[in-house]
Amino acid sequence: MDLVLNRVVITGIGVYSCIGKNVSEVTDSLRNGKSGIGIDPVRKELGFRSCLTGIIERPKLKSLLPRTQRTKLAEEGEYAYLATSEAINNAQIDENYFNNNEVGIIYGNDSSSLAVINSVDVMREKKDTMLLGSAPVFQSMNSTVTMNLSVIFRLRGISFTVSAACASGSHSVGLGYLMVKYGLQEMIICGGAQEVNSYSMGSFDALSAFSVNHGNPTKASRPFDRDRDGLVPSGGAATIIVESYESAKKRGAKILGEIVGYGFSSNGEHISVPNVAGPTRAMELCLKDAGIAPEKIDYINAHATSTLVGDEYEAVSIDKLFGESKPYVSSTKSLTGHECWMAGASEIVYSMIMMENSFVAPNLNFENPDEKSAKLNIVSETKSTNIDMFLSNSFGFGGTNSAILVKKNNG
């Protein structure tokens, strides 16, 4: 018997980021090219080379969650809870749905360092682990988001965390897509979360990969621009409800888009220096999985983080595959900074918003191209245009690459 593959659709999105605390606020920021980047003065005291970061307000969850559930959420778990609540509402799913259907969660997250750091402080000072209380163990594991959210939302399907550096969020959506495509689950909550507390970024700052444009924070993240000097770390959370077409139709849910391709690869080379071949292969596999020709892509949400080498290599890679058709390209990291473990998921949400509202958000601060980025069709100001299909790239340390292709729902 032939294997019947499911069509995989997106029926809900939610986001909590430095450019907005929900889809509506984020839509305005994307359209208006509003940056969410600022200065964290604590980093100066801690000896950071760069104090630039996405500025995010810590959510107040006291009225939303009982103490027992709230206290076990790490910072990024709080963001993920809000983004997921919004996505569930957006998908028109009520609480009973999870009691009567097996729904899973696959979320990207690759650190939860503050609880670890605080626990070590207490142990070193007091020499008594009992004083840590019950919360740190549930806050400090990489799976903190999925373990907490599956309890809060009473989920009974697949539940695990994807840790794949800055491609975590993208791989989570890719794995959710595969599970639904092959009929293993009807619905999976996918996404990515990223902590932004000062301590969590110290070891990354040590690599001198961050921009030091302290004089002009909103100009600091400038992917593809000739004068870029590094990335700006950021965070938050973004959630995507991935569901089979049949399930969405049965529920009468609004279909926001269809995931038609997932491509992945590893570079097999350097731990932090990217290359051209790996990302190219991931994008090629994604197109092959979808059975789509490159010229069908209207928009590419680039991984481009504003680092010298990374942006250059991605530009070469995109030009290699899309040099003929020249789709619009922008990196929303110019507005948000690099949302790391969350980025792959949030950038799908950002692109979904653009597709729904027929515009491409600007690649902020793209003032002068370099030799490689000059070959791309980079959008530097908000552009009104129809998007029928977009590609979202995410690449991470260790050379892990992920590309997701999403198509507009045309019935």
Partner 1 sequence: MKNEEIIQKINTLLVDEFEVEADQLNPSASIIDALGIDSLDLIDLLVLIEQNFGFKVETEEVAEIKTLQNFYDYIIKRLNGK
Catalytically annotated residues: 166, 303, 338
Minimum CB–partner distance for residue 128 and partner 1 (Å): 8
Q: Report the alpha-carbon distance of residue 224 to residue 368 in Å, rounded.
A: 8
Number of Cβ within a 10 Å radius of residue 324: 8
Nearer to partner 1, 130 or 271 (CB): 130
**Residue of 41, 66, 183, 323 interacting with partner 1 (CB under 8 A):** 66
Contacts with partner 1 by CB under 8 A: the residue count is 11
Sort residue 399 into left (φ over 0), alpha (ψ -120 to 50) or beta. Answer: left
DSSP conformational letter for 101:
S
**Residue of 5, 123, 131, 184 interacting with partner 1 (CB under 8 A):** 131
**Residue of 64, 116, 135, 141 interacting with partner 1 (CB under 8 A):** 135
- 125: contact with partner 1 by CB under 8 A: no
- 4: contact with partner 1 by CB under 8 A: no
Question: Taking CB under 8 A as the criterion, which residues in 68-87 touch partner 1?
Answer: 68, 71
Q: What type of residue is 44?
A: K
Cα-Cα-Cα-Cα torsion 139, 145, 146, 150, nearest 10 degrees, comes to 90
**Residue of 63, 96, 100, 134 interacting with partner 1 (CB under 8 A):** 134
Please report where in the chains the tokens 């206290």 appear, as a residue: 71
**Residue of 128, 252, 271, 410 interacting with partner 1 (CB under 8 A):** 128
Number of Cβ within a 10 Å radius of residue 41: 10
In the chain, the N- to C-terminal Cα span, in Å, equals 28
Please report where in the chains the tokens 């680039």 appear, as a residue: 302
Q: Report the alpha-carbon distance of residue 267 to residue 49 in Å, rounded.
A: 29
Minimum CB–partner distance for residue 133 and partner 1 (Å): 5
Minimum CB–partner distance for residue 343 and partner 1 (Å): 33
Specify whether the CB–CB gap between 152 and 70 falls below 8 A: no
Among the residue ranges 133-141, 155-163, 170-178, 275-283, the one whose residues contact partner 1 (CB under 8 A): 133-141
Nearer to partner 1, 126 or 288 (CB): 126
Task: Write phi, then psi, for 107 (nearest 5 degrees).
Answer: -125, 145
> In sequence order, what E strands does 230-334 have?
236-244, 257-266, 299-301, 328-330
Question: Taking CB under 8 A as the criterion, which residues in 254-293 touch partner 1?
Answer: none
Minimum CB–partner distance for residue 189 and partner 1 (Å): 24
**Residue of 1, 4, 130, 293 interacting with partner 1 (CB under 8 A):** 130
Alpha helices in 225-357 (DSSP H): 245-251, 277-290, 308-322, 333-336, 340-357
What tokens were used for 133? 């209380």
Among the residue ranges 60-68, 73-81, 85-93, 400-408, the one whose residues contact partner 1 (CB under 8 A): 60-68
Minimum CB–partner distance for residue 78 and partner 1 (Å): 17
Among the residue ranges 53-61, 67-75, 237-245, 260-268, the one whose residues contact partner 1 (CB under 8 A): 67-75
Q: Report the alpha-carbon distance of residue 391 to residue 403 in Å, rounded.
A: 7
* Cα torsion angle, 90, 91, 92, 97, sign: negative
Q: State whether residue 167 is helix, strand or coil.
A: coil
Nearer to partner 1, 66 or 183 (CB): 66
- 123: contact with partner 1 by CB under 8 A: no
Minimum CB–partner distance for residue 64 and partner 1 (Å): 13
Q: Report the alpha-carbon distance of residue 346 to residue 79 in Å, rounded.
A: 12
- 63: contact with partner 1 by CB under 8 A: no
Among the residue ranges 4-12, 35-43, 128-136, 340-348, the one whose residues contact partner 1 (CB under 8 A): 128-136
Nearer to partner 1, 66 or 268 (CB): 66
Q: Report the alpha-carbon distance of residue 127 to residue 124 in Å, rounded.
A: 6
- 67: contact with partner 1 by CB under 8 A: yes
Cα–Cα–Cα angle for 201, 343, 253, rounded to 5 degrees: 140
- 133: contact with partner 1 by CB under 8 A: yes
Number of Cβ within a 10 Å radius of residue 134: 9
Minimum CB–partner distance for residue 85 and partner 1 (Å): 20
Minimum CB–partner distance for residue 60 and partner 1 (Å): 14
The residues of the shown chain that bind partner 1, judged by CB under 8 A, are: 66-68, 71, 128, 130-135
